[in-house]
Amino acid sequence: MGKCGKVWLVGAGPGDPGLMTQRGIDVLKVAEVILYDRLVHPAILLNASPDVLWINAGKTPRGRRMEQHEIHRLLISHAAKGKRVVRLKGGDPFIFGRGGEEAEVLAQAKIPFEVIPGVTAGIAGPAYAGIPVTQRGMSTELLFRIGARAEGSVRGRTLVGYMTVEGMGDFLERALDLGFPLSTPAGVIERATTSQQRVITGTIGTLANLAKRKRVSAPAIVVVGTVVSLRNRLRWWEKRVLAGKRIVLTASEALRKGWRECFEDLGAEVWEIPMTHIQPLIPEKAWVQKILKADWLVFTSASAVRFFPQALGDLRKVAGCKIAAVGKGTADVLVAIGLPADWVGQGPGSEKLVQGWPQWAKGRILHITGDAGDDSMIQRFRKRGYQADRIIIYRNQGGRSIPKPVQDALQKEGADWLVFASGTAASRFRRLFPRLKKIRQVVAIGPATARAARNAGWRVSCVAKEPSAQGVLRAMMRAS
């Protein structure tokens, strides 16, 4: 993305904060600038960072208002400075929300953007009132219309069809009956919003044959109207480097924090199927005694870092110790808990850590770790003449059971990438799926994990040079 930032056009839903999408909340948490509308519920804004720049872009009837051209200018100017910008709108940004106009100016300015749909009030309001807007035997069409005062200078209609794949010809005939010309742009979106999304466009006169030739199948949505022509300028979903890719993460809950967002931001569909559950152990007095005697505390996992404050009780006790991290990913987590590393290895793997250990780093070494690994790192240090020991502060347990529908879908459809962050995860995943065939590529977080994965029968495509989400991502990009 270079120096340029990004804009997210986010639907905040109809009012109830609980109807805001998870994706929308995730983006709010990392936003640096938020332009919000009057109709956004204040409780939704609590999800944002306390350091965010707030810009009230609301419009009140016959009251104060920010002109649309000013909103456009602010979106472009902040994104051009490299900021993460959220345009937060009530309902859905593309339903009477002028989100399409904002997308157009962003596309013209070559600013990357993403659309996060929201629940529109035209559906949610009636639902909360106990009114189904469609009912078998009573209503087969749903018409959304804007108030006369807000129509603008040009009027037009958009027709959206559900469950229309088999009867597409009849549906398009109905569009002609409603007054749409034969040359009106029309499109079909197959498996919308999933990694298998496919879009085919034409006109009322050509779409049915195009869909048949391309073998479009349900579920699919048909859209008829001049707005379909905007797709040529506003298509954003396919432009992301991981769009259409399904990635399965097998990391533990503790380790995968931030990993899903890393891949989703680039367009991937992420399935989190953790193979391990990390459980902190009850602190022992012997741990503190060993820590106080140590000159160096060595961390080779994010889980060890996260559970360390709980194990120690008071971080001031390590004031006399130096801190080492296996790689940048672990070092970043150390910074987050207030323990910046004095030395960071090139990663990944404990073997590489010992090989790269600096000559100036003298004294007793204490490895803070979990029960899944062995003491091979300690033995390597001892062979090089160091006094080395370890304490085990967490237990590595099996992950939760996987629902059968998820297992069935994975067996049937597979995935583009399978990500292993530990040898344990690779072994456990193989036991769960002994005959999983439709996995296109496998990536391992480091050499040791890659060896364990190969021993478990996985064909490893690439290995990360750095044990972190970004390291894994770079390995995937090199292999693609």
Catalytic residues: 37, 59
For residue 442, what are the β-bridge partners?
Answer: 418
**E strands, 332-385, in order:** 343-344, 365-370
Give the single-character DSSP code of 325.
E
| Two tokens, residue 249 | 């993460």
Give the single-character DSSP code of 91.
B
Instruction: Answer whether 296's CB lies under 8 Å from 363's CB.
Output: yes
Closest CA to 444 of 429, 473, 427, 464: 464
Residues 6 or more apart in contact with residue 447 via CB below 8 angstroms: 348, 349, 351, 352, 463
Alpha helices for 374-468 (secondary structure H): 376-383, 404-413, 423-432, 447-455
3-state SS record for 204-243 = CCCHHHHHHHCCCCCCEEEEECHHHHHHHHHCCHHHCCCC
| Measured distance CA(191)–CA(197) in Å, rounded | 5
| Two tokens, residue 319 | 């004031």
Closest CA to 97 of 73, 116, 77: 116
| Measured distance CA(111)–CA(60) in Å, rounded | 28
Residue appearing with tokens 């001892």: 382
**What is the Cβ-side half-sphere exposure of residue 67, based on CA atoms within 13 angstroms?**
3
For residue 85, what are the β-bridge partners?
Answer: 7, 33
For residue 84, what are the β-bridge partners?
Answer: 6
